[in-house]
Amino acid sequence: MSTASVSLDLDNLWAYLKTHGDPAWEGRPSFLPTAVPRLLEVFGEHGLTTTVFVVGADAEREDGARAVADIAAAGHEVANHSYGHEPWLHRYSRVELEAELVRTEDAITATGAPRPTGFRGPGYSVTPTLLGLLAERGYHYDASTLPTWIGPLARAYHNRTAPDGGADDLFGGFGRVRAPNTAYRWRVGPGLVELPVTTMPLLRVPIHGSYLLQLHQVSPRLARGYFRTALRLCRARGVQPSLLLHPTDVLGAAEAPGMEFFPGMAVPGARKVAFLGWVIGALRAHFDVVGTGEHVRRLGAGLRDRDVDLLVRPT
């Protein structure tokens, strides 16, 4: 049976509000005490070992440190999701990028979890400088690319609802559709593997949790059919899917105040949990599902070296 992977970006409520330009983020509101036990319960019920990408600023706070410790104790890999969760790492200098990595590594290891060897940039933000730093610091893989054409559309939706008008360089341009949808090794970061967040083969539309839930909000039957189609295309095209989840995939609107703008938030939390269970079951029916670090390990030495245009600017 081919391998697939599941990962979770442990983005907190304050991080979403910050990106959205909502000044309420400065109070650092958190939904981790609600979301993390619920997610761990779902993973445990399905016998699933995942990778959780952790924000350093959260790992330093009491509820975040407890969450990271619980995640690691349950056997899940803990990876680096930057310190401040700003989806514009492409604006950062080398010194600033290294500080993001180091502070998060220190915060994670302070919880008792192992030093991370995987990284994902917020908002799929990545640069050659960042990749070089990851290689220098001994990371095994990056998982920051989303090979799709919808970045400008997602940016337009985000900016239309953002109180501060948003930003013009989030989520990349249409050209990202040309990026590989399967794993490879970066030449710019020697030995570093890129494991993209999988999009639907051929159509290159997202299939991760929040997009599935937006469809579920319209029609549960549509969402299930969409995901089944994605899995069929993955099998037909030889794509080993890497599925991305977020805490909002198990939270209702009342549990994430201020996030009415986010896809799928009109779906009640209990229905989200049930749908997530169905998604995991559908994935496991056709693939051996692991975390991203184990997925990369299994891919081994047979990956191609690639020079890929990171396409960080909108088009």
CATH class for the region spanning 3-200+242-247+286-306: alpha beta
Token output for 68 = 């990271």
Instruction: Give the 3-state secondary structure of 144-201.
Output: CCCCCCCHHHHHHHHHHHCCCCCCCCCCCCHHHHHCCCCCEEECCCCCCEECCCCECC
Sorted by where each begins, the domain ranges of the chain are 3-200+242-247+286-306
Quick one: which of 65, 55, 69, 68 has its CA closest to 25? 55
pLDDT of residue 62: 97
Q: What is the pLDDT along the chain (315 residues), one digit of tens a residue?
A: 899 999 999 999 999 999 888 999 999 999 999 999 999 999 999 999 999 999 999 999 999 999 999 999 999 999 999 999 998 898 999 999 999 999 999 999 999 999 999 999 999 989 999 999 999 999 999 999 999 976 565 555 555 666 665 566 656 777 788 889 999 999 876 789 999 999 999 999 999 999 999 999 999 999 999 999 999 999 999 999 999 999 999 999 999 999 999 999 999 999 999 999 999 999 999 999 999 999 999 998 778 787 776 544 433
Is 0.85 surpassed by the pTM of this model? Answer: yes
The CA distances from residue 116 to 51, 104, 140, 271, in Å, are 10, 9, 9, 33
Give CA–CA dist 113/69, Å, rounded.
7
What angle (nearest 5°) sits at the alpha carbon of residue 230, between those of residues 228 and 231? 65
pLDDT of residue 178: 86
Count of C-beta atoms within a 10 Å radius of residue 112: 12
- Please state the length of the chain: 315
Cβ neighbors of 257 (< 8 A, separation 6 or more) are: 13, 29
Give CA–CA dist 3/23, Å, rounded.
42
Burial state string for 194-215 with b = 16 or more CB within 10 A and e = fewer than 16: bbbbbbbbeebebbbbbbbbbb
The CA distances from residue 102 to 96, 109, 114, 178, 194, in Å, are 10, 11, 14, 32, 20
